[in-house]
Amino acid sequence: MKIGRHFALLSVGVVDGHGGPPRLDQAVVVRDGRIAAVLPMADYRTDDSIQEVPLDGHYVMPGMIDAHVHLSGGRATIDDQELGVIAEPKILRAMRSVYEAQQLLKRGFTTARDVSWNGLYLKRVFFEQKLPGPKVIACGPGLSRTGGHADLFQFTPDYVRENGVWGIMADGTDEIIKSVRYLLREGADAIKIFVSGGDNWPHDRNGDVHYSMDELRTCVEEAHRQTGTMVMAHAENRTAIEMAVDAGCDTIEHGEDIDEALAAKMARNGTILVPTLQLIVNWYRDFVPLGGPVAPKVRPDAFLYRDLYDDHDEEFGHAYSSQAVTSFQTAKAAGVKIALGSDTVYEPLTRYGEYSALEFRALVEYGMTTSEAITAATVTSAEAVGMSRLLGSVEPGKLADLLVLRRDPTEDPMVLYDAENIHLTFCDGKLTVIDGLLAW
C-alpha cells in the first residue's frame, strides 16, 4: 500500500480524543502531514489532488502518547536490574533503543516522552525520517542527588557519570542550574527531577524527600526560563508531591500518596498526574518480590542493619498497591488532569509497546471509562509533553499522527490493547506501520 502526502480516509468513524462516541461516516483529509479537514461523507467532495482511501467500517483516532518511558537500551532481570543495564556498553544500549521506540510505534504510540540519554539523539534520528519511529520528547537523564534514585552506588561516581542512562547527579542549586542548562544544550524538551526516592536502592526509599525546596524551585525556574520547557517530577510521597506542585512542576510522576486536599491543589494549579499504575500497583509482584527481607544478593544493601530485617509480606504489598489505586481515584474525582505514562524501563521486565498498552488497560481497570482513557492517552498526554498545539486530537491543523482501527476503540480497552486491531499508523501524515509491520 502506497499513500502520498495528500489523501482522504473515507467512511470512517472518528474518535477525536475529546471523549464521547465516534462520529460515524466521516472523511479525514490530510495535506502535507497535517489534518486539513474532518467532515461528514455527505459533505465530502472528490478532489483530483487527493488520494482517496476507502475504509468503510474502520475507525480513526489520534496516535497515542506515552508520557513516561525510558528508551534505555538495557536488558536485565529481577536479579541484576539496573546493575545489568549500566554494565553494558553505551553504544549497544543506544542501538537497542531504536528497536524499543519502534515497538512503541507498533502498538499505536506515535509519541513518547523519554527519560534517558538516548532520547536526546533518537529524536534527531526519527525527525530526519530515514528510520521509522515515534516522536521522541526528550528529557535526557533526570536530575538526581548523589545517592539518589538514579545513582548506582555499587559503581564509582565517575563510572555512573560516564555510563548511567537515567540520571545526572546534581547537588545544590549551582549544580542544578548547570545540569539544566547542559541538558537544554543537548536538546532536552523537558527536564525531569527525582524529588523523592523510588525504592530501587537503600538510599532511595520512596518515603524520603531528596531535594530541598530551594533546589526544586531552582530547577523549575531554570527550566521554565527557556520557553516551552516543562518539568516532570518523580514524587512518590505526599511531602515530595506537594513540594513539586508548589514549586511549579508541570507533571507529577507516580504520585501514589495524594489525598483530597492535595488533589484539589493539583486541580487548581493545572498540575498533570502521570500515575504509571501498571508499574506502581504491581511493584511488589513484578519488581521487588514479597516474602520476607530483601536478600543482599538481589539488592546489595549499604544499610544492612537499618532496613534488612523489615518484612515485606503480602499484607504490606497489598496496602502499597491499594494506596496507589486510592490516590489515582482521589485525583480523578477532584478533576486532576491525568495522562498515560508506562514507565517502561528495560526488557524483559517491561516490554516496550506492550507495557504502554498495559498502562492503557490499567487506567480503565482502576476507574476510568475507556473513552476517558483514550483522552488521557491523547489529549492530556499531548498537554503533559508540551505538544497540545500539534498533537493529541483529530481536528484540522493538527499533525496527522493517526491510527486506523478495525474496531471502535471506545467500546472496550482490549480493542487498543490488542495490536491486531491497529490496521494503519500515520506519523506526520506518512504511512508508517501496516498491520504491525514497519512500512518504510
pLDDT digits (tens, 9 = 90+) for 73-89: 999 887 777 788 888 99
129-145 tens-digit pLDDT = 999 999 999 999 999 99
Same domain, 321 and 246: yes
pLDDT at position 225 is 97
pLDDT at position 305 is 54
- Which amino acid makes up residue 26? Q
412-430 tens-digit pLDDT = 999 999 999 999 999 999 9
CATH number of the domain enclosing 403: 2.30.40.10
Same domain, 128 and 17: no
Average pLDDT over residues 121-132: 95
The answer to whether position 1 is within a domain reads no
CA atoms of 119 and 116, how far apart (whole Å): 6
Number of domains in the chain: 2
Same domain, 87 and 143: yes
223-239 tens-digit pLDDT = 999 999 999 999 999 99
- Write down the mean pLDDT value for the chain: 93
List CB contacts of 267: < 8 A, sequence separation 6 or more. Answer: 334, 335, 336, 337
Containing 415, the helix (H) or strand (E) segment is helix 413-417
pLDDT at position 301 is 52
Above pLDDT 90, what percent of the chain?
84
According to the 3-state scheme, what is the secondary structure of 336-390? Answer: CCECCCCCECCEECCCCCHHHHHHHHHHHHCCCCHHHHHHHHHHHHHHHCCCCCC
Query: What are the Cα distances from residue 65, in Å, to 235, 278, 378?
Result: 21, 16, 6
CATH number of the domain enclosing 225: 3.20.20.140
Provide the pLDDT confidence category of residue 329 given band limits of 50, 70 and 90.
very high
Same domain, 354 and 400: no
- Cell 518480590 -> residue: 289
Q: Which of 21-25, 127-131, 315-319 has the lowest mean pLDDT?
A: 315-319
Same domain, 193 and 222: yes
Same domain, 305 and 167: yes
Containing 109, the helix (H) or strand (E) segment is strand 109-114
pLDDT at position 202 is 66
Question: Do residues 278 and 362 touch, judged by C-beta distance below 8 A?
Answer: yes
Q: Cα(first)–Cα(last) distance of the chain, in Å?
A: 11
pLDDT at position 313 is 78
For the four alpha carbons of 193, 199, 204 and 206, in that order, the dihedral sign comes to positive
179-231 tens-digit pLDDT = 999 999 999 999 999 999 998 776 788 999 999 999 999 999 999 999 999 99
Same domain, 116 and 229: yes
Looking at residue 4, the DSSP 8-state letter turns out to be: -
Same domain, 159 and 269: yes
Backbone dihedral region of 210: left (phi > 0), alpha (psi from -120 to 50 degrees) or beta? alpha
252-300 tens-digit pLDDT = 999 999 999 999 999 999 999 999 999 999 988 887 766 654 444 444 5
CA atoms of 358 and 423, how far apart (whole Å): 19
Same domain, 208 and 169: yes
CA atoms of 46 and 387, how far apart (whole Å): 32
Provide the pLDDT confidence category of residue 306 given band limits of 50, 70 and 90.
low
Last residue of a domain, one of 384, 401, 418: 384
The answer to whether position 309 is within a domain reads yes
151-168 tens-digit pLDDT = 987 788 999 989 988 899
Same domain, 49 and 123: no
The answer to whether position 425 is within a domain reads yes
pTM of the model: 0.96
CA atoms of 300 and 427, how far apart (whole Å): 44
Let me know the angle formed at the C-alpha of 104 by 419 and 429, rounded to the nearest 5 degrees: 85
pLDDT of 100 higher than 80: yes
230-235 and 251-254 beta bridge pairing: parallel
Residue among 371, 323, 413, 427 at smallest CA distance from 21: 371
Question: Do residues 365 and 282 touch, judged by C-beta distance below 8 A?
Answer: no
Helices (H) and strands (E) in the chain, counts: 16, 20
CA atoms of 371 and 33, how far apart (whole Å): 26
The parent domain of residue 18 ranges over 6-61+393-438
CA atoms of 101 and 360, how far apart (whole Å): 17
pLDDT of 340 higher than 50: yes
CA atoms of 161 and 179, how far apart (whole Å): 12
Question: Do residues 390 and 94 touch, judged by C-beta distance below 8 A?
Answer: no
CA atoms of 136 and 119, how far apart (whole Å): 6
pLDDT of 107 higher than 70: yes
360-379 tens-digit pLDDT = 999 999 999 999 999 999 99
Question: Do residues 401 and 289 touch, judged by C-beta distance below 8 A?
Answer: no
CB atoms within 10 A of CB 417: 18
Q: For residue 224, with 0-12 CB atoms within 10 Å meaning exposed, 13-18 middle and 19 or more buried, which class applies?
A: middle
Provide the pLDDT confidence category of residue 302 given band limits of 50, 70 and 90.
low
